Chains A and B, each alone.
Chain A
Amino acid sequence: MNSDGVNGGGTSRERVLGRVRRALADVPRDERPEDHPVTRDYLRVHGERTPAESLDLLAENLADYRAHVHRVDAPGLPALLARLLAERGARRVVVPAGLPRAWLQDAPVDMLSDTPALTPSELDRVDSVVTGCALAIAETGTLVLDAGPGQGRRALTLVPDHHLCVVRAADQVVDSVPQALERLAPAAARPLTWVSGPSATSDIELDRVEGVHGPRTLEVILVTGDPRSG
């Protein structure tokens, strides 16, 4: 199949590019793509904050979007995860490769490893998913997952109804969207998912309803200290 629509003497690719070039007859011939000025005098960060203040802002903005926010130090993480899973009555929990198994050592749950054999229908029968993240953005209350270790396939944080996401306060919190994109640039080739609060809709008379298709409940755990050691 040649879907580039050869007709009228030339491919559609040539036709569209030719039309673009003719349409731009007013652009000086010696102007180069990067010549037209873009002034980037907007702010890299809105306001000045200490790391502790950034963490507070992140917690506040996450909660504002109806995520449940918990704070804990690294040694307390397994107990907290065990409690949160128990509160939901979660028995089948899926975990991505690279997530420290010690995090779930206190939780009496069936741990399913993420493998390609786990189909969407099987994921639909899982109670909860526990992941890390690539980073979190304080000013917007956003978690970013980049399919790195401990984050898994995109389907993992999409199909189960309950998502617990662990954020390392020490090195995963940035202040702003520009800072986040700068840090993510090397990961651009990987699939990225930005999450700000649980799935929501305002399509019915603008009443906000949580949980249409993504997880209905998002719990974010902000951990101080290094949860990878010990």
Chain B
Amino acid sequence: MSRDGARAPRGGAGFPQGGATYLGMPAFPQAADAATRDGRLRANLRHATHTIRAKRARAVAELDDWARLREAGAAIKDRTLRHLDHHLVRLEEAVTRAGGTVHWAADAAEANRIVTDLVRATGEHEVVKVKSMATQEIGLNEALAEAGIRAYETDLAELIVQLGDDLPSHILVPAIHRNRGEIRDIFRDRMASWGRPAPEGLTDRPAELAEAARQHLREKFLRAKVGVSGANFMVAETGTLVVVESEGNGRMCLTLPETLISVVGIEKTVPTWRDLEVFLQLLPRSSTAERMNPYTSMWTGTADGDGPRVFHLVLLDNGRTDTLADEVGRQALRCIRCSACLNVCPVYERAGGHAYGSPYPGPIGAILTPQLRGLSSPLEESLPYASSLCGACFEVCPVAIDIPEVLVHLRERVAEGGEVTVRGTRTVIRPAKGHATERAAMRAARWAFDHPGALRRGQRILARTRRLQPRRLPGPGRAWTDTRELPAVPAESFRDWWARTRGGTA
């Protein structure tokens, strides 16, 4: 599988490791190559993405103002990002007023240090965790393990991933690459070393597996003194944090412990309470294809006699301000992590989430990871090529992120170099050394020609984004365009023209 060649997860204190070690992953082409040869992985992924895709389309069709909600969602996020400093200061004031403590973390190391110190101050050696991409991004579980603190993942899929010493492969269903038989084996073999063992004679029925997880986790919830979470939204006006979930493990972690520590990316801010009316409609339908997810929790600081007595909010930068500095790439910070773009992406469907080498897989990962981390290694340089530019991701995105536009922009950076912001400082990067990108680009091209449907859609979006295309070809074509102008992309692809004029099927 795609973890081949990945650095072995760091061991520590004899703990079984939830190895969120993405560093040292192979670049996208190699990882994708391994994954696409894994037939079972591909079948699992295909089943899952196609199921969610169809359900999502039905849920969205129920709202005849979807396009207007989407516009409003994008506009609210843009409004927030354009004055993010102002909103963050307001948020800090409101959270503090409500009895919380706000911390600022410029990078992953600092965020990990803050959380570790906060847990140590409670005298506890274990924490329960709500699924959170921000804490995966900073490798919090590993940092805590090094400090002798065990972090228990409580989302069912994250539990499967943690017990299996594996990496998440999807934003919404992190264990999408595992089928029921594998999950049964993981529970049977691994649960005992993390707490309550799996029941005798456990079968692979989903209801039985869920029950085993319930029993295993309940003893942890009932004794936990510290909870760690992320958040889907933070309201600057009121200081309210919002967590959207299905299982109730989130409610457990947010409610039962005495201390709650939330690590949240600064881009999760929305200015006003009213803004939630847009996102609480956009998110569930795009994500789980439900009218509303089973549980949404909102809390503002601490409340007397209800829930944690101590609340800490860690505001995380870790490359977000570098992303903000890129006027084209900035829109990636609108993302509400619904995962709709993964489920429609033909490349993700074949490659799987691990190939993207980051907690953010799929189309959003292809534009977010290289921006958060910088175009700093062959993996990040290859990610903007992990796409056929078919445009399906842009069409489903509930906050209208033009992912193809950002991909093309980042490809230009990779191929030609140019100005970027790294850790807050403007720098000029040199063009990537040909090899990785060349191979990635060729692989993407070969794949697209094998899949006429994707190619067709790709041509459409190329036509639509003509003004965004670089005049020089990136990667292998660069030498050729050194002496020539790249011909303009026609307004209509040949196939579309043929279909329109001859009435055939496009």
Seen from chain A, the residues whose Cβ lies within 8 Å of a Cβ on chain B are: 1, 3-5, 11-13, 15-24, 26-27, 31-34, 36-43, 46, 61, 65, 116, 120-121, 124, 137, 139-142, 147, 153-155, 158, 177-178, 181-182, 185, 188-207, 209, 211-215
13 A-B contacts (beta carbon < 8 Å): A20-B85, A21-B85, A27-B83, A33-B83, A37-B79, A182-B277, A188-B300, A190-B300, A202-B173, A203-B157, A205-B48, A213-B154, A213-B221
For the complex, give the distance between the alpha carbons of A137 and B217 in Å. Answer: 31
Q: Quick check: B75 and A37 within 8 Å, CB to CB?
A: yes
For the complex, give the distance between the alpha carbons of A65 and B293 in Å. Answer: 10
Given A23-B324, A209-B207, A212-B210, also A147-B292 (CB < 8 A)? no
Asked if B447 is at the interface (CB within 8 A of a chain A CB), the reply is no
Q: Quick check: A200 and B247 within 8 Å, CB to CB?
A: yes
Q: Quick check: A181 and B306 within 8 Å, CB to CB?
A: no
Q: Quick check: A204 and B180 within 8 Å, CB to CB?
A: yes
Asked if B496 is at the interface (CB within 8 A of a chain A CB), the reply is no
Q: Quick check: A206 and B113 within 8 Å, CB to CB?
A: no
For the complex, give the distance between the alpha carbons of A40 and B79 in Å. Answer: 13
Q: Quick check: A206 and B156 within 8 Å, CB to CB?
A: no
Q: Quick check: A204 and B183 within 8 Å, CB to CB?
A: yes
For the complex, give the distance between the alpha carbons of A201 and B247 in Å. Answer: 6
Given A22-B325, A195-B295, A199-B294, also A3-B103 (CB < 8 A)? yes
- Known interface pairs A33-B86, A188-B240; 13 further A-B residue pairs with C-beta atoms within 8 A, sorted by A's residue number: A15-B424, A20-B84, A20-B266, A37-B79, A43-B68, A153-B307, A158-B251, A193-B298, A202-B288, A206-B47, A206-B48, A212-B247, A213-B218
Contacts of B295 in A (CB 8 A): 193-196, 199, 214
Contacts of B436 in A (CB 8 A): none
For the complex, give the distance between the alpha carbons of A11 and B306 in Å. Answer: 33
Contacts of A31 in B (CB 8 A): 82-83
Q: Quick check: A178 and B207 within 8 Å, CB to CB?
A: no
For the complex, give the distance between the alpha carbons of A61 and B240 in Å. Answer: 27
Of all A-B residue pairs in the complex, the 3 with the closest CB atoms, nearest first, are A214-B248, A213-B248, A23-B325
Select B104's contact among A12, A189, A213, beta carbons within 8 Å: A12
Contacts of A40 in B (CB 8 A): 72
The B296-325 residues at the A interface (CB cut-off 8 A) are 296-301, 303, 305-307, 315, 317, 321-322, 324-325
Q: How many A-B residue pairs have CB under 8 A?
A: 274
For the complex, give the distance between the alpha carbons of A139 and B280 in Å. Answer: 13
Q: Quick check: A141 and B300 within 8 Å, CB to CB?
A: no
Given A193-B297, A199-B295, A213-B218, also A188-B273 (CB < 8 A)? yes
Asked if B238 is at the interface (CB within 8 A of a chain A CB), the reply is yes
Give the size range of B's interface with the partner: 35 or more
Q: Mark B192-224, 1 if CB is under 8 A from A, else 0.
A: 000000000000001101100110011001100
Q: Quick check: B294 and A65 within 8 Å, CB to CB?
A: yes
Q: Quick check: A209 and B206 within 8 Å, CB to CB?
A: yes
Q: Quick check: B47 and A4 within 8 Å, CB to CB?
A: no
Asked if B96 is at the interface (CB within 8 A of a chain A CB), the reply is no
Asked if B105 is at the interface (CB within 8 A of a chain A CB), the reply is yes
Q: Quick check: B256 and A155 within 8 Å, CB to CB?
A: yes
Least Cβ–Cβ distance between A3 and chain B, in angstroms: 5
Asked if B88 is at the interface (CB within 8 A of a chain A CB), the reply is yes
Given A17-B89, A23-B322, A124-B222, also A198-B206 (CB < 8 A)? no
Contacts of A215 in B (CB 8 A): 248
For the complex, give the distance between the alpha carbons of A142 and B244 in Å. Answer: 13
Asked if B33 is at the interface (CB within 8 A of a chain A CB), the reply is no
Counting chain A CB atoms within 10 Å of each CB, the highest count among B118, B160, B240 belongs to B240
Q: Quick check: A202 and B105 within 8 Å, CB to CB?
A: no
Q: Quick check: B114 and A158 within 8 Å, CB to CB?
A: no
Residue in chain B with minimal CB distance to A215: B248
Least Cβ–Cβ distance between A6 and chain B, in angstroms: 11
Q: Quick check: A3 and B117 within 8 Å, CB to CB?
A: yes
Select B247's contact among A36, A142, A199, beta carbons within 8 Å: A199
Contacts of B299 in A (CB 8 A): 191-192
Given A154-B255, A201-B210, A205-B47, also A39-B240 (CB < 8 A)? no
For the complex, give the distance between the alpha carbons of A124 and B317 in Å. Answer: 39
Q: Quick check: B281 and A204 within 8 Å, CB to CB?
A: no
Least Cβ–Cβ distance between B296 and chain A, in angstroms: 4
For the complex, give the distance between the alpha carbons of A38 and B160 in Å. Answer: 41
Residue in chain A with minimal CB distance to B297: A193
Least Cβ–Cβ distance between A2 and chain B, in angstroms: 10
Contacts of A39 in B (CB 8 A): 68, 71-72, 75
